[in-house]
């Protein structure tokens, strides 16, 4: 089976390369008769990838430890569900998953009306770029990152899945990220293809659905990752600005910029060149994310090893950027007289451009911040790094500004000036009034106050347009977009409060002792011990009261899983839309002394609520491409 799977991938790679060469020849000789063959070739390559993925899935299911990959990430005790999801627990498997998603995205796109709206030459150019991307991933999978290595001699038992990954949040976090990364290849290829052949219809229209869908996956992946970090890692936060987190945030920021400038192009025909560049940079930033995680260039808390893919990934990024520059030059003559100028700054396009600046600035800041230990070696003998305080200081004001843009943008006109004066009055009123109320409630930090006021204003604006404009309420209109922005406002509110106003306290308690935090009284009742086949558990039982009234019981645990000598913390919370009490059992002794880390997180659940809305609402914006463009 190892050999079958490996050759399926190898054959897929050769087919992709052959298809790319055929597409290149067709473009070279202006002979577009063999499109059907290229499309069938892609289907065949996809079949190869699906076959290889199926073999890996079956091997995981049967715990076939003759596969090195299966032995590395599963064992016989692991429940079936987690065994199957070990597919993406390691580098080789996650790259295979990325490839599988990429191929399936390609298949679905090839039967979409968007694909059929393209001219013959553009379709050929699209396949040229897309098949090269696929061939690159297949090269990694058949070379440095092969998931089908055979264990010689076979091992009797696997090493088991990392307990940190045994959580629903972690199970779906990586594949969602990879699905997002994979999907953004299509807008990039369409952008290059359309610009190279001088396609009449903008690629932004054809790429719209794929871009939105990929953005949904990426956002969902990031939000789940934050939730997992909060619920599973037990340090009281959800975002630590660790290089691994930053690596997934950069593509999100760039793609958000792209999705918004693409709106400007579809409506006003401006920014065509910018969009080609942004679509490709989005794709490159997805690769960059993987590179940062896999290359070991930055010291991170997560000990990802160097898996032999760093060099190829770096080269491929540089290659893509060179191709982008070449295509932009080659296609420029087609577009010299077609592109319309941008309207003034005080208009919807103007605001969207500012938003793109903010997003790009944020991505550059996060990128440079992540690489600072490497960059600082230019002038310092010892590497200088940046702590989370740096990112919070630089990025949070920019995010607050984004929310303010979201509050005011719907009231602007597409051409110039304010469209809705009454709405503007309401939004300004909500901003000032909301800010005053928050100030009265004791929120005095400028950035938190501004962000809070901006999110209240943004919510008021969305409510106002929902009431006043039928367009905003209808599925065919902007319902999806406004709902995403409502979600963003809720997330902003959650971040603005749960970050700076979090209370933290650490204590060692013995049964019967109490502690106070933020108006809550916590009484440590007992420490329980429990043991079963899969794990040994110590559990602290803590009664929580506020002003004498019971609020709930916290039961943070420490678990020692069979096969791992390290204990893992299971966090316990008392869920609340206001102040959420959060407890981690950091260590416990035989004498029942428990070291506890308690925090009170105000409004934190609004991040997950708003984040969920941000991931669901864009589905309402997906629509069939009608005729020529929109």
Partner 1 sequence: MAKKKNTPMYLVALALFLGGLGYLLYSGLGENTAYFLNVSEALAMPPKELSKARLFGTVAEEGIDRPADALGVSFTLLDKDQTAKTIRVDFKGVVPDTFKPGVEVIVEGGVNPASGAFSASTLMTKCPSKYQKENRG
Under the rule (CB under 8 A), what is the footprint of partner 1? 72-73, 89-91, 159, 161-162, 164, 294, 299, 301-307, 341-345, 350, 353-354, 357-358, 361, 365, 372-373, 382-387, 389-390, 393-394, 397-398, 506-508, 510, 558, 566-567, 586-589, 591, 593, 595-597
**Cβ-based nearer residue to partner 1, 144 or 629:** 144
∠ CA 67-286-124 to the nearest 5 degrees? 95
What is the closest distance, in whole angstroms, from the C-beta atom of residue 262 to partner 1 in the complex? 19
What is the closest distance, in whole angstroms, from the C-beta atom of residue 586 to partner 1 in the complex? 4
Phi, psi of 267 (to 5 degrees): -85, -40
Contact indicator for 427, 434 with CB cutoff of 8 Å: no
Phi, psi of 32 (to 5 degrees): -110, 40
Give me the count of residues in the chain: 630
**Cβ-based nearer residue to partner 1, 35 or 244:** 244
What is the closest distance, in whole angstroms, from the C-beta atom of residue 609 to partner 1 in the complex? 29
What is the closest distance, in whole angstroms, from the C-beta atom of residue 80 to partner 1 in the complex? 20
CA dist., res. 282 & res. 249, Å (int): 11
Continuous H helices in 111-153: 113-116, 120-142
Q: Which residues pair with 602 in a beta bridge?
A: 579
Q: Which two tokens stand for residue 236?
A: 């009281």
What is the closest distance, in whole angstroms, from the C-beta atom of residue 244 to partner 1 in the complex? 10
CA-to-CA separations, 549 to 188, 543, 545, in angstroms, rounded: 57, 11, 5
What is the closest distance, in whole angstroms, from the C-beta atom of residue 383 to partner 1 in the complex? 5
CA-to-CA separations, 327 to 25, 97, 210, 254, 323, in angstroms, rounded: 17, 30, 22, 20, 6
**Cβ-based nearer residue to partner 1, 159 or 419:** 159
What is the closest distance, in whole angstroms, from the C-beta atom of residue 488 to partner 1 in the complex? 20
**Cβ-based nearer residue to partner 1, 390 or 501:** 390
**Cβ-based nearer residue to partner 1, 210 or 370:** 370
**Cβ-based nearer residue to partner 1, 124 or 294:** 294
**Cβ-based nearer residue to partner 1, 161 or 177:** 161
What is the closest distance, in whole angstroms, from the C-beta atom of residue 211 to partner 1 in the complex? 25
**Cβ-based nearer residue to partner 1, 152 or 301:** 301
CA dist., res. 327 & res. 191, Å (int): 10
CA dist., res. 383 & res. 297, Å (int): 12
Residue 505 CB neighbours (<10 A): 14
What is the closest distance, in whole angstroms, from the C-beta atom of residue 71 to partner 1 in the complex? 10
What is the closest distance, in whole angstroms, from the C-beta atom of residue 522 to partner 1 in the complex? 15
**Cβ-based nearer residue to partner 1, 91 or 101:** 91
**Cβ-based nearer residue to partner 1, 7 or 372:** 372
Query: What secondary structure letter does DSSP report for 155?
Result: P
Query: Residues near 413 by Cβ (< 8 Å), separated by ≥ 6?
Result: 347, 348, 419
What is the closest distance, in whole angstroms, from the C-beta atom of residue 545 to partner 1 in the complex? 23
**Cβ-based nearer residue to partner 1, 386 or 541:** 386
Residue whose tokens read 């020529």: 628
On the 0-12 / 13-18 / 19+ scale of CB atoms within 10 A, 56 is buried
Nearest to 161 by CA among 225, 88, 247, 217: 88
Q: Which two tokens stand for residue 467?
A: 């009431």
Contact indicator for 571, 582 with CB cutoff of 8 Å: yes
Contact indicator for 303, 290 with CB cutoff of 8 Å: no
On the 0-12 / 13-18 / 19+ scale of CB atoms within 10 A, 80 is exposed
């Amino acid at each position: 089976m190892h050999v079958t799977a490996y050759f399926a991938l190898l054959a897929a790679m050769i087919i992709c390369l052959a298809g790319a060469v055929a597409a290149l020849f067709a473009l070279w000789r202006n002979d577009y008769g063999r499109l059907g063959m290229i499309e069938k070739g892609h289907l065949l390559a996809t079949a190869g990838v699906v076959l290889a993925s199926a073999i890996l899935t079956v091997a995981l299911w049967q715990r076939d430890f003759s596969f090195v990959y299966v032995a590395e990430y599963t064992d016989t005790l692991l429940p079936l569900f987690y065994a199957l999801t070990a597919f993406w627990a390691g580098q080789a498997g996650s790259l295979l998953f990325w490839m599988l998603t990429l191929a399936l995205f390609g298949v679905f796109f090839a039967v979409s009306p968007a694909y059929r709206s393209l001219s013959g030459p553009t379709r050929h150019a699209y396949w040229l770029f897309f098949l090269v991307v696929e061939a690159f991933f297949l090269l990694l999978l058949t070379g440095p990152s092969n998931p089908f290595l055979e264990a010689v001699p076979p091992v009797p038992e696997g090493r088991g899945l990392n307990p940190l990954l045994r959580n629903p949040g972690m199970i779906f976090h990586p594949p969602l990220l990879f699905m997002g990364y994979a999907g953004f290849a299509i807008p990039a290829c369409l952008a290059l293809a359309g610009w190279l052949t001088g396609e009449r219809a903008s690629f932004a229209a054809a790429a719209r659905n794929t871009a939105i869908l990929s953005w949904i996956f990426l956002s969902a992946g990031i939000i789940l990752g934050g939730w997992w970090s909060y619920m599973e890692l037990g340090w009281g936060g959800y975002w630590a600005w660790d290089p691994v987190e930053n690596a997934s945030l950069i593509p999100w920021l760039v793609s958000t910029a792209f999705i918004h400038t693409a709106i400007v192009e579809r409506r006003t025909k401006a920014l065509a060149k910018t969009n080609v560049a942004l679509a490709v940079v989005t794709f490159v930033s997805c690769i960059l994310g993987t590179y940062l995680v896999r290359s070991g260039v930055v010291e991170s808390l997560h000990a990802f090893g160097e898996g032999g893919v760093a060099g190829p990934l770096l080269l491929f990024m540089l290659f893509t950027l060179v191709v982008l520059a070449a295509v932009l030059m080659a296609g420029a003559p087609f577009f010299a007289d077609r592109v319309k100028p941008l309207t003034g700054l005080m208009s919807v396009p103007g605001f969207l451009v500012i938003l793109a600046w903010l997003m790009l600035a944020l991505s550059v800041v996060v990128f440079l911040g992540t690489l600072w230990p490497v960059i600082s070696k230019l002038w310092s003998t010892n590497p200088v790094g940046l702590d989370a305080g740096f990112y919070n200081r630089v990025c949070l004001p920019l995010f607050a500004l984004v929310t303010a843009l979201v509050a005011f943008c719907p009231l602007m006109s597409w051409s110039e000036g304010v469209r809705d004066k009454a709405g503007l009055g309401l939004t300004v009123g909500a901003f000032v009034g909301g800010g005053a109320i928050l100030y009265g409630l004791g929120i005095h930090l400028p950035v938190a106050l501004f962000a809070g006021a901006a999110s209240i204003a943004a919510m008021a604006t969305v409510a106002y347009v929902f009431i006043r404009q039928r367009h905003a309420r209808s599925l065919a209109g902007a319902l999806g977009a406004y709902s995403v922005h409502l979600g963003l406002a809720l997330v902003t509110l959650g971040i603005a409060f749960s970050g700076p106003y979090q209370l933290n306290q650490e204590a060692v308690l013995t049964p019967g002792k109490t502690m106070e935090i933020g108006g809550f009284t916590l009484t440590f009742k007992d420490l329980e011990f429990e043991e079963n086949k899969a794990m040994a558990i110590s559990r602290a039982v803590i009664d929580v009261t506020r002003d004498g009234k019971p609020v709930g019981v916290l039961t943070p645990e420490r678990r020692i899983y069979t096969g791992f000598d390290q204990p893992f913390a299971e966090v316990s919370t008392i869920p609340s839309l206001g102040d959420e009490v959060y407890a981690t059992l950091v260590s416990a002794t035989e004498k029942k002394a428990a070291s506890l880390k308690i925090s009170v997180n105000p409004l934190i659940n609004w991040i997950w609520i708003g984040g969920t809305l941000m991931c669901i609402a864009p589905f309402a914006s997906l629509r069939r491409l009608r005729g020529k463009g929109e």
